Amino acid sequence: MHSDPNFRFEELTAISNGYTILLQESTDMLGELKGVINANGLSMTDHERMDIVNYVYDRLKNKLLEKMGRKK
């Protein structure tokens, strides 16, 4: 992409920043899901586990809809 004449430096920087944010948010959400299946998650009830799974799912769905320009 760096040599693509269709992108200016500022556009490439914005794309890079967007991907950085997306990766960080994904890492955070995966960390939350990991808590459901690791040793700490063993002390949770099934209801608590499903609450976390549903919370992460809703965040991912809302992010996707936001990126697509749709309302939640």
- Reported as a single tens digit per residue, the pLDDT across 19-56 is 898 888 888 888 888 877 776 656 778 888 889 889 98
Look at residue 32 and tell me if it is in a domain: yes
CA distance 29 to 25: 6
Q: How many domains does the chain have?
A: 1
pLDDT above 60 for 1: yes
Residue 36's pLDDT is 77
Question: By residue range, what is the domain housing residue 31?
Answer: 9-67
Amino acid, res. 45? T
Residue 69's pLDDT is 77
Look at residue 56 and tell me if it is in a domain: yes
Look at residue 4 and tell me if it is in a domain: no
Look at residue 47 and tell me if it is in a domain: yes
Look at residue 24 and tell me if it is in a domain: yes
Amino acid, res. 36? V
CA distance 28 to 55: 12
| C-beta neighbour count of 51 within 10 angstroms | 13
CA distance 9 to 13: 6
